[in-house]
Amino acid sequence: MGGNVFDEQPTNRIFQNVDALDPDRTPSKDEFVERDDEMQQIVSILRFIEMGGASNFLVTGPSGVGKTMAVKIILRDLENYLDGNVQSVYLTDLENELQTLRTLTSQLSLNYRGTDLNEYYDRLAAKLIREDLKLVLVLDELEKLFLAQGGKSHGNSFLKKLLEARKRVVNADADGTLLVIGISNNARLGEYMNTKVKSRFGHETVHFSKYNALELRKILEQRSEKAFRPGALDDGVLAKIAAVVAQNGGDAREAIQVLRKAGELALDDGAATVTNGTHVDRARQLIEADKIVDTVRSLSMHSHVVVYAVLSLLEEGKTPVTTGDVYSEYRDVHAQMSVEGKDPISQRRVRDLIAELDMLGVIQATVLSNGKYGRTRRIKVNLEESTIEELQTFVEEEYGI
């Protein structure tokens, strides 16, 4: 290949600012549409921090409905409004109590990396009191601390000690305070909190419902005006994406990803416009495949092995694939794994995992009655070959199969 590798790229007649279609980009207030009521609820709670304190609260709702963006936009304005008298810290990917405390420590320069958990809370309280610091701590995906892998929950322990530190700060003769915002996809997160934690955390919850098709279309219109060249979108592109994504859960992030992918496909084709048929339909298929892979990656080891067993049976031409077939293959695959201390699970548990995978859309499992022999499931998948290969490679590399 001679010359510069970018010389032969197709002429860009599609995009003018692709950054506007980055789903992780925090938009301005003007760009963040269709969430005025929820924003006002959060502002109504946070306004009291200027008067010396405010209630801790939860923000709940499905993935991709604007929870995190709303909180970040409001806290950005709060910091500007109070002119440096408040600081916000945003934490996500919460694995356990120690890891969360170490991340918090690094952001606040508490100068401690040890294993004495109480030392972290003592240093946090001391800093807020000493510096009269008003701290807003945002804990995104808070449910992960309550549903940690291995069955150990860190959520109640962490929040109990954190709120005890908050009590020390609030009762000190100082202007410092600590306010905790928990963000979660699980609307029932409060049920995982024990009585003492729930009482101290407070009972304020701001819930974000999923976007409907009209709301998604307005979001896409807002983004597309900046992202695409005039005339680059065929009529109906935004309406079609909004309608389909609204039916599949109302995830604005997914809608933006589909729109961007459709634009990329049109660019690759050398087209002048993004078409409502070819480009949008192909984009939806590709995004859906990515979602399946991400979903499987987030599941447990045994779920990974069950998926691999199903794909292996189908690859071998086994049809129909039943629950019993999957369990036998699961045992064979598990025996090949290079993971110590992980015993195989029962056939009943495998059956439960098959039902879970069906619910998540990874496989399709139809329940069949065998009369006096009970019921089983006939299992199939409706995945692209590239997605199947990616899932198989992931499991093989992850567990040394």
Does 1 count as an annotated binding residue? Answer: no
299-399 is classed CATH 1.10.10.10: yes
Nearest Cα to Cα of residue 33 among 285, 293, 211, 203? 211
**Is 80 exceeded by the pLDDT of residue 147?**
no
Residue extents of the structural domains in the chain: 36-207, 212-295, 299-399
CA distance linking residue 129 with residue 137, whole number of Å: 16
318-344 as b/e: b if 16+ CB within 10 A: eeebbbebbbebbeebbeebeeeeeeb
Give the model's pLDDT for residue 205. 92
66 is in an annotated binding site: yes
pTM for the whole structure: 0.77
pLDDT interval class at 374 (50, 70, 90): low
Q: Are the beta carbons of 154 and 145 closer than 8 angstroms?
A: yes
pLDDT, one tens digit per residue, over 87-123 is 999 999 887 899 999 999 999 999 899 999 999 999 9
CATH of 36-207 given 1.10.4160.10, 3.40.50.970, 3.40.50.300, 3.30.390.50: 3.40.50.300
Average the pLDDT over 223-245 and give the result.
95
Q: Is residue 211 marked as binding?
A: yes
Contacts for 373 with CB less than 8 Å, ≥ 6 apart: none
The interaxial angle of helices 278-297 and 301-315, nearest 10 deg, is 130
Rounded distance, CA 279 to CA 257, Å? 13
Closest Cα to residue 255, out of 206, 299, 210, 297? 210
For the domain made up of 212-295, give the CATH fold: Helicase, Ruva Protein; domain 3 (1.10.8)
Alpha-helical (H) ranges within 147-271 are 155-170, 195-201, 213-227, 237-247, 252-268
Q: What's the confidence (pLDDT) of residue 65? A: 94
Whether residue 223 is annotated as binding a ligand: the answer is yes
